[in-house]
Amino acid sequence: MPRRRPLVIGHRGAPGYRPEHTRSSYDLALELGVDAVEPDVVFTADGVLVVRHENEIGGTTDVADRPEFADRRTTKTIDGAEHTGWFTEDFTWDELATLRCRERLPQLRPSSATFDDTQPPLRLRDVLDLVRRASLDQGREIGVVLEIKHATSFTRLGFDIAGVVADELRAAGWADGDLPLVVESFEQSVLGAVRERGIRGSYVYLLEAGGAPFDRVAAEGKAAPTYRQQLTPAGLDALAGAVDGISVDKRLILAPDRLGRATGPSPVVVDAHARGLRVFTWTCRPENAFLLPQFRRGRDRGRFGDYEAEWRIIKDAGVDGVFVDHPDLGLAAFR
């Protein structure tokens, strides 16, 4: 059944106010009252699940300023695209823990950047324990939406993705459904692998507005379906029963025309609900840089535009969950 009001999920904590995936970012999101927080996980060389949006960490830590790690800078192909920088899988957890986090978008979010270089990275276990404690302290259930990043690429490096994730959730007491757990990924295959290991939770498949899932591309080449094809009625029929829900780029709901004007809400939410699938969307951000042109105010990319009007379209679509960077604004708009 669709929810009467959507879950408000702190996307990487509260990164509109603090550097993403830091302790202060999660603390603030929980203090502001989110229904859940979303940690992304990647691997260290010694198999520790670390909370970072990407395995390349040059833009979100001080690693580029650390001479002892200068020789770790390299170029790799991740999910078919070439990236140059420093990668978590080339560091042990002990090494990574010596780094300090930085704001990813300092030009847009200078206030958040004032917290740079003060906090170390977190492990998944740190976030799981933090949310459990907050649930007890606040007397309410708070969930975790765990996103597994680059599963096929890490598998090729020899990591047992599903096994390590399942073991960590079990060791932290998050495997049996006692607290709300969602496992999500842009690769459907890893969701099935984690479910097969007996982890109780909801399994949500992420879909972008363009491109194709890398696990399918790796297995099928040009025959792999695109994300857009998977959102057609026939594509949703195939997902129904295989996953519990989908999580889509907000543009797929706003449905902008060639001039960038919203024509939505599109039928994707209704179509998915008709097949028993929950629908989340990402990412609701108030800055002009992230809004459709009609909702921008002025030319300053960091200025807040008429985000409430854009978000109202998303709310009217009947989504079950929204990812937000500013939890207070998200709660006000979607509650």
pLDDT band at 4 (very low <50, low <70, confident <90, very high): confident
pLDDT (0 to 100) of residue 187: 98
Rounded to two decimals, what is the model's pTM? 0.96
Termini Cα distance of the chain:
18
User: What pLDDT sits at residue 335?
Assistant: 87
Interval 239-278: pLDDT, tens: 999 999 999 999 999 999 999 999 999 999 999 999 999 9
**Residue 136 Cα distances to 7, 233, 323, angstroms:** 19, 42, 23
CA dist 195 and 202 (Å) reads: 9
Amino acid 333 reads A
For the chain, how are helix, strand and coil distributed in percent, rounded to 5? 40, 20, 40
pLDDT at residue number 271: 98
Structural domains of the chain ordered from first start: 7-334 (3.20.20.190)
In order, the DSSP letters of 262-306 are: B----THHHHHHHTT-EEEEEEE--BGGGS-GGG--SS-TTSB-S
- Using one digit for the tens of pLDDT, what is the confidence trace for 75-103? 999 999 999 999 999 999 999 999 999 99
pLDDT at 123: 98
Phi, psi (5° rounding) for residue 17? -125, -25
Residue 1 clears pLDDT 60, i.e. is over it: no
In angstroms, the CA 90 to CA 96 distance is 9
| Average pLDDT, integer, range 158-186 | 97
Please tell me the predicted confidence (pLDDT) of residue 3: 56
Please enumerate in sequence order all residues whose Cβ is within 8 A of that of 237, keeping only pairs 6 or more positions apart, or say none: 275
Comparing C-alpha atoms, which of 116, 119, 123, 117 is closest to residue 88? Answer: 123
Q: How many angstroms separate the Cα of 198 from the Cα of each of 24, 146, 192, 240, 249?
A: 32, 16, 10, 20, 29
